[in-house]
Structure 1
Amino acid sequence: MGKLIGYARVSTKAQDTDRQEQDLLAAGVRRDDLYVDHGISGGKVSRPELDKALAALHDGDTLVITTLDRLGRSTQNMLALADDLKGRGIGLRVLNLGGGDVDTKTPTGQMVFTVMSALAQMELDIKRERINDSVSKRRAAGKDLGGRREQFSDRQIRNAKRLIDGGQPAAQVARDMGMSRATLYRRMEALTS
């Protein structure tokens, strides 16, 4: 029997992989064979630790992940990866897929993996569609779309302009306000136009 190579991933640096790591270790993955990406989106095809995990796999080994979304979001990418692994004689085992453990070395495991990959892609597409719809509706209604708020009022920018017109160096005025000179000039120009 080949080695079990584990892979865990979280999308933000603030999240931790403790639960994933515990599940992978409980499934028989050795700590030395565990690869973890922190702050990496599942939408990215290339991820540093996933790339290392894939390079560590040899014929007869199995890549083990806790859930399908840790591997990726794109059905096309996940299926291509599963095909690549199969072609290299490597299995893929998903610990928590549809309430059970799925191993792509079996025909049933391959079928379940394919269906679940398509569902993961559909979930992402629906989420993206909802966000785009919400932004469109807010924009049409003239509502706030979020983003960074203006830190300085127009009055503060006018006062800064008076200081510069009075002979103060623009770089010093901008520094005192905590902004770049370019931002100060852009804001002053926006006031006059």
Structure 2
Amino acid sequence: MPKLIGYARVSTRQQSTDRQQADLLAAGVRRDDLYVDHGVSGARASRPQFDRALDALITGDTLVITTLDRLGRSTQNMLAFADELRRRGAGLRVLNLGGGDVDTATPMGSMLFTIMAALAQMEHEIKRERVIDSISKRREAGKDLGGRPRRITDSQIRSAVRLVEGGEPAAQVARDLGMSRATFYRRSRSLAG
């Protein structure tokens, strides 16, 4: 009997697949047939749970995803995937396309999949351009770009340098600060320059 095989993915460990999983289960995917990758980029060719989902697909089964970008980032990658599904005799259902099945074995389904893959890639590239533009504008304006806050102040580094100059081992001073010796040296050089 044909099965629905669900696949969900998020790119970072901080993101949640809860919404994707709920949508897939609501679409009829059994929990046992749900595969989830956490912290795996769509740009990677190999995704452990995605590979398992593909291994589970047999002729007549349908792979169900919430959005087309869960499959990959490039049109070329998605088209290769469509060929893989066609060879297996499996279907694809993308929930954000109105819940209809996209039969990649038919000319119309293949065309729709190609168009949607190209649109997904274009959307990704537009987002990327916006992020790059935003970063450059923030940098030009001298604004903070975020990142991990420095826990060790410049004043603490200067005090630590004085300890090393007074004969304390640099490795011990760095360890006491909670950083590697290389980081300690780099930070102390940046203050000296």
TM-score (normalizing by structure 2):
0.85
Match of 1:37 in 2: 37
Amino acid at match of 1:16: S
Aligned equivalents of 2:30, 2:149: Cα separation in 1: 48
Aligned equivalents of 1:106, 1:80: Cα separation in 2: 16
Query: Deviation per CA, 1:48-87, whole angstroms, max 9, x where unpaired?
Result: 0000111111222221212212222221111110111112
Mapping 1:1-193, distance limit 5 Å: 1-97=1-97, 99-104=98-103, 105-193=105-193
Instruction: Provide structure 1 residue ranges, at least 5 long, that are not aligned to the other structure.
Output: none
Distance 1:171 1:91, change over 3 A: same
Distance 1:64 1:153, change over 3 A: closer
Amino acid at match of 2:27: A
Asked if the contact 2:94–2:101 (Cα under 8 Å) also holds between the matched residues in 1, the reply is: yes
Query: Deviation per CA, 1:13-39, whole angstroms, max 9, x where unpaired?
Result: 333333333332333323222211122
Aligned equivalents of 1:154, 1:25: Cα separation in 2: 52
Aligned equivalents of 1:77, 1:141: Cα separation in 2: 38
TM-score (normalizing by structure 1):
0.85
Which deviates more, 164-173 or 142-151? 142-151
Asked if the contact 1:102–1:113 (Cα under 8 Å) also holds between the matched residues in 2, the reply is: no
State the number of aligned residues. Answer: 192
Q: 1:140: Cα distance to partner?
A: 4.0
Amino acid at match of 2:133: D
Instruction: Provide structure 2 residue ranges, at least 5 long, that are not aligned to the other structure.
Output: none
CA RMSD of aligned residues (A): 2.2
